[in-house]
Structure 1
Amino acid sequence: MIRHIVFFTARSDEDRNAVLAGLSLLTEIPHARLLEIGSNAKTDQLGNAVDFVVYGEFDDEAALIAYKAHPLYQKSIDRVRPLREMRIAADYDTDKAARRPV
């Protein structure tokens, strides 16, 4: 399984609702097992720069590629990019991830 995690920061407080609305379009794309858009609760003592998190789980790399090829993905980019300050993304294969033994 592939986990896709993206962090976003809005350019201004006035843009936050529009960024959230633009990111929420991603939940309508059918290729993910799970896709969540969350607002950062900003309770961490060391850093709270991130405003929003996109978290997705995909069966495999092909599903992630299909997700990114969907027209709503580009529509979300078109809405969010002009309003965001920062975007950091990471994808990783859970089969290759380090784990604590159960």
Structure 2
Amino acid sequence: MIRHIVFFSARRPEDVPAVLQGLSILATIPHARRVEVALNAKADQIGNDVDVVVYGEFDDAAALAAYKAHPLYEESIRRVRPLRDVRMAADYVVETAVTG
């Protein structure tokens, strides 16, 4: 399984709701086991620059690729790109992760 985590920060604080709304359409795309889109709780003592988090679980690389090829993924990009400042993404294979 692959976990796909993406962090977004809006250019302006007043754009955060529109970023959240634009990213929320990702949760309707098939191919994922799970997709969550949420506001950052901003509870970290060191840094709270992230405004919105997207978390996804995919069976494999093909499922993640199909998700990214979906027209709603492109629509989300079209809506969010002009409003975001930073986008940081990470993907990892769950079976190779160090766990405790």
TM-score band (shorter)?
A: over 0.9
- Aligned-residue Cα RMSD (Å) equals 0.6
For the pair 1:40 / 2:31, whether they are aligned, the reply is no
The answer for the alignment partner of 2:66 in structure 1 is 66
* Distance in 2 of aligned mates of 1:99 and 1:40: 24
- Structure 1 residue runs of 4 or more that deviate by more than 3 Å after TM superposition: none
- Cα-to-partner distance string for 1:5-45 (whole Å, 9 max, x where unaligned): 00000111111111011000101101110000010111110
Aligned to 2:44, the other structure's residue is in SS state coil
The answer for the alignment partner of 1:3 in structure 2 is 3
The answer for the alignment partner of 1:19 in structure 2 is 19
Match for 1:55: what amino acid? Y
Match for 1:5: what amino acid? I
* Distance in 2 of aligned mates of 1:97 and 1:41: 25
Aligned to 2:85, the other structure's residue is in SS state strand
The answer for the alignment partner of 1:99 in structure 2 is 99
Q: What's the TM-score, normalizing by structure 2?
A: 0.98
The answer for the alignment partner of 2:88 in structure 1 is 88
Match for 1:6: what amino acid? V
Aligned to 2:5, the other structure's residue is in SS state strand
| Number of residue pairs matched by the alignment | 100
* Residue segments in structure 1 that go unaligned for 5+ positions in a row: none
Aligned to 1:87, the other structure's residue is in SS state strand
